[in-house]
Structure 1
C-alpha cells in the first residue's frame, strides 16, 4: 500500500463494478470508457495493496477485501450526492435539487399529484424520489426529506406529524359478488386473502384484529406493497388498504370495518442542517400541508360513511 490517498473517482468506479459485475457495465453506468474504469480499479488495488476482483463465468466477482470496502464506498457515494444537491442551488433561492424518500405506497399512489403541484409552483427545483422504508436515510444523507410512518427518533432531525392514516380490509366489488361479504373475522379462512411471502414480513404484523396470520392463509403472496395493492384492485383477493387511498377507487369495498383495522402515523422529517435552505423549506412545508390534507380527507370520509350506516 502506498501513502497516497485514493481519490473518490477510484472508489466511484470500484463501486460501479461491484454493482454491475463488469467493467463494461460500470463504464455504461458512469458514462466512462471501459479502459478508464479498468485503470481506476487497477490504481485502487495498487493504492490499497489488495486484490479487489477475481474473474468468474458471470464477470468480475468482488473479493472479501472488496466486500469489506463496499459500505464505506457507499457512504462516500451518498456524501458526494449530498454535496452535489447542496451545491445545486443557492440557499435563499427556489432552485436546485431536493431528494425525497418515501414508502412504496406513498411514493407511487399519493405523492405524484402532490409533487406535480409543487413543480408547477417551483419549476426550477428538480426532484429526486427514492422508494424506501429505511429509517436512517436522513442521517446517512441518502435523502434530504423523508415521509415516514413512524416517529423519527434522531435528535438531529426536524420532524412534523401530519396525522394518522387508518388501514382496513378491502376487496373489489366483483369479488364480494362472487364470494359474498364475510360476516366475521373467522369467516376469512374461507376467502382468498392477499398477504406477504416472507415470514419476516408476516411477523411484523403479528395479527390483525385478533386474527392470527400465517403464510398458508394467503392465497396471493407478495412482499411488495405496490404488488399487493395492484392485486387488490384487480380482484385477486381481500387485502389491507389505506382508507383515504381506497376512496380514490370506487370499486374497492371496505370489509368488516372496525374489526380488522390499524393505524399509521405520518411524519415529514429532514436533517436540521437543511433548515436554512429555501428549497428544502418550501418542499418540507408543501409536503406537510398536502399529506395532512390527505389524512384529513380520509378521516372525514370515513366518519361520514360510519354516520350513514
Structure 2
C-alpha cells in the first residue's frame, strides 16, 4: 500500500481533499486545480484500484466503505508530509492547519486554558474540539489527541499517557440545601432528591456505592448527558454527581459526602503512533500537560 500510495500520491491527495471538503468545487479551490483535473484524478484512482471511492449525489461526494479505509491513509500521510516540509523549511514557529481534540464534555471544560495558550502561540492553527461520548477512532484520523476517562485504552497503535485522575462527589446547590437541608449522614440520602442517569446507565463507582447503601434513590431528574446533569444540579433540582472540574471556583455548591479516592476516574492522553511525534501534536500535548504540572 505504501509504495502504491506514493506512486499515486497526487491522485490520492486530490481524493482526500474531496472527501474532506465534500465537493469537487471546494477541492479544486483548495488545490488550485481545475474541476476537470480533480474529476480526472478520482477517475484514474478508482479505475486503477478497481473499486469506487465515492458515491456521487446532488449535494456532493460521500465516501464508500473502501474509500474510508483508503482516505484514512491519505490523511495521515498528508499531515506527516506537511510536518516534514515545515521542519525542513525551518518554519517561523507558528503552526498552521487544524488540530482535532476529542474529549468528554465535562473534561473538555478543563482544556480551555491550554488551548488558549496554544492558540496564542499558533494563531493560524484552528483547534477543533469534538466533545462527545463516542470514542473517536484515532487510527482513522478522526482526532489527533483524545482525552479519555476510565479504563486505560489498550489499542496497540495508541500512545497512552497518564493524565492524573478527576475526583467525583455528590454535590448540592445552595438553593437546594436551603430548601431541603443537608443530609446529616448516609442514611439521610434516602430522603433526598437526585439528579442522575437512568438506572443501570452509569458505571461510576460512586453510584454503585450509593445504591448499595440506600437502594434506589428518589429521582427528581433523570438525564444521561453530563452537561444536563450539571445544569440541573446547579439549578437546585437535586443532589447529583459532579467532577472537580464542574465545581472548580464555585462557591454555590457543596459536597454532601466525605471525599473518597475510590470514586475518582483515571484520565488518559491518547495519540496515534503515526502522528504522535508531529510538531502540532507535541506542542498541544505540552500545553495540555501544564494542567497537571
Q: Tell me how far apart the structure 1 counterparts of residues 76 and 121 of structure 2 sit (CA, whole Å).
A: 24
Quick one: distance in 2 between partners of 1:277 and 1:31?
Answer: 25
The residue number in structure 1 matching 2:155 is 154
Match of 1:144 in 2: 144
CA distance in 2, matches of 1:144, 1:112: 17
Structure 1 residue 155 displacement after superposition: 3.0
Superposition map of 1:1-309 within 5 A: 71-75=65-69, 78-79=72-73, 81-83=75-77, 85-86=79-80, 89=83, 90-91=86-87, 93=91, 94=93, 95-96=95-96, 97-107=98-108, 109-135=109-135, 137-150=137-150, 151-197=152-198, 201-202=201-202, 204-205=203-204, 207-212=207-212, 217-258=218-259, 262-290=263-291, 292-293=292-293
Paired residue total:
253
Deviations 1:41-80 (A, max 9, x none): xx99xx979xx89xxxxxx9xxxxx9xx865555556555
Distance 1:147 1:235, change over 3 A: same
SS in 2 for 1:139: helix
- 138-147 or 86-95, which moves further after superposition? 86-95
Q: Distance in 2 between matches of 1:248 and 1:210?
A: 26
The structural deviation recorded for 1:116 is 0.9
1:130-150 superposed Cα distances (whole Å, 9 cap, x missing partner): 113444622232111111113
Aligned counterparts of 2:252 and 2:125: Cα–Cα separation in 1: 37
Deviations 1:157-185 (A, max 9, x none): 22221211110000111111110001233
Point out where structure 1 has 5 or more consecutive residues left out of the alignment. Answer: 1-6, 17-25, 33-38, 54-59, 61-65, 294-309
TM-score of the pair, normalised by structure 1: 0.65
Q: Is 1:160–1:269's contact at 8 Å kept on the other side of the alignment?
A: yes
Distance 1:118 1:175, change over 3 A: same
Deviation at 1:265, TM superposition (A): 1.1
Give the Cα separation in 2 of the matches to 1:143 and 1:14: 16
Give the CA RMSD over aligned residues.
4.2
The secondary structure found in structure 2 opposite 1:155 is coil
Paired residues of 2:204 and 2:263 also in contact (CA < 8 A): no
**Which whole-Å deviations, capped at 9, do the CAs of 1:19-56 have from their partners, x for residues lacking one?**
xxxxxxx87xx799xxxxxx9xxx99xx979xx89xxx
CA 1:139–1:31: 2 relative to 1, 3 Å: closer
